């Protein structure tokens, strides 16, 4: 983690920031941004966004600027913050991985057991309810289902056809699936409970 030599412009900008001229932090950001992002890119594990860690590091440095001692090496201080931000992210990822490794297989097995224990009649009923629930969707929403599941159109093309972004299409499909599941569950509860 090589620090960059102290820059008098950065020192002056830091002094102005400490006096309340927060826009001056941009001078500091521009001075260290490339070096910090480069260092992080070389050290982040796969799947971690170096830019996100850099952003968090700059935000942390800005919010803790009162702790920085003018005249000392700001670059070293900033890189130390970045190193701790990176360690925090790695710890978070390890916890998530540990949770999934520990509980994922058991949860998956339970769900598979539950699904396998349902009779073919239950599945037939669910499919009938799904068809009814699909019919109850508006044409606009049904079109998304048709494109994605009947015609197997990629999300990018659906986004282009609908004039939406890919994340918006994903969210729309997620909401539609939720509506369909609620509809099926409601029908199972009322009609299934009545029989």
Q: Which residue spans of the chain are classified as CATH 1.10.10.10?
A: 119-192
Q: Which CATH architecture has domain 119-192?
A: Orthogonal Bundle (1.10)
| Structural contact between residues 79 and 1, judged by C-beta atoms closer than 8 angstroms | yes
Q: Counting every residue, how long is the chain? A: 195
Q: Which residue has the tokens 């093309």?
A: 157
8-93 — its CATH code? 1.10.1740.10
Q: Which residue spans of the chain are classified as CATH 1.10.1740.10?
A: 8-93
CB count, 10 Å around CB of 14?
19
Residue of 162, 189, 184 whose CA lies nearest to 173: 162
* Environment class of 7 (CB within 10 Å of its CB; exposed 0-12, middle 13-18, buried 19+): middle
List, in order, residues 6 or more apart from 88 with CB less than 8 Å away: none
Q: How confident is the model at residue 7 (pLDDT cuts 50, 70, 90)?
A: confident
Residue of 69, 96, 95 whose CA lies nearest to 6: 69
pLDDT in tens, 55-110: 999 999 999 999 999 888 999 999 999 999 999 999 998 888 888 787 888 888 88
List, in order, residues 6 or more apart from 7 with CB less than 8 Å away: 31
pLDDT in tens, 133-171: 999 999 999 999 999 999 999 999 999 999 999 999 999
């Amino acid at each position: 983690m090589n620090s960059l030599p102290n820059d008098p412009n950065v020192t002056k900008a830091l002094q102005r920031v400490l006096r309340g001229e927060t826009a001056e932090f941009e001078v500091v950001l521009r001075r260290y941004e490339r070096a910090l992002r480069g260092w992080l890119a070389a050290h982040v594990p796969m799947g971690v966004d170096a830019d996100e860690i850099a952003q968090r590091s700059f935000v942390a440095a800005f919010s803790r600027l009162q702790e920085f001692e003018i005249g000392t090496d700001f670059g070293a201080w900033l890189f130390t913050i970045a190193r701790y931000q990176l360690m925090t992210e790695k710890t978070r990822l390890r916890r998530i991985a540990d949770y999934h490794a520990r509980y994922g297989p058991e949860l998956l097995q339970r769900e598979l057991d539950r699904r396998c224990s349902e009779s073919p009649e239950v599945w037939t009923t669910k499919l009938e309810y799904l068809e009814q629930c699909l019919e109850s969707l508006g044409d606009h929403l049904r079109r998304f289902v048709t494109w994605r599941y009947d015609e197997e159109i990629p999300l990018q093309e659906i986004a282009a056809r609908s004039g939406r972004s890919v994340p918006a299409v994903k969210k729309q499909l997620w909401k539609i699936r939720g509506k369909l599941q609620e509809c099926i569950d409601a029908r199972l509860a009322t009609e299934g409970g009545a029989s």
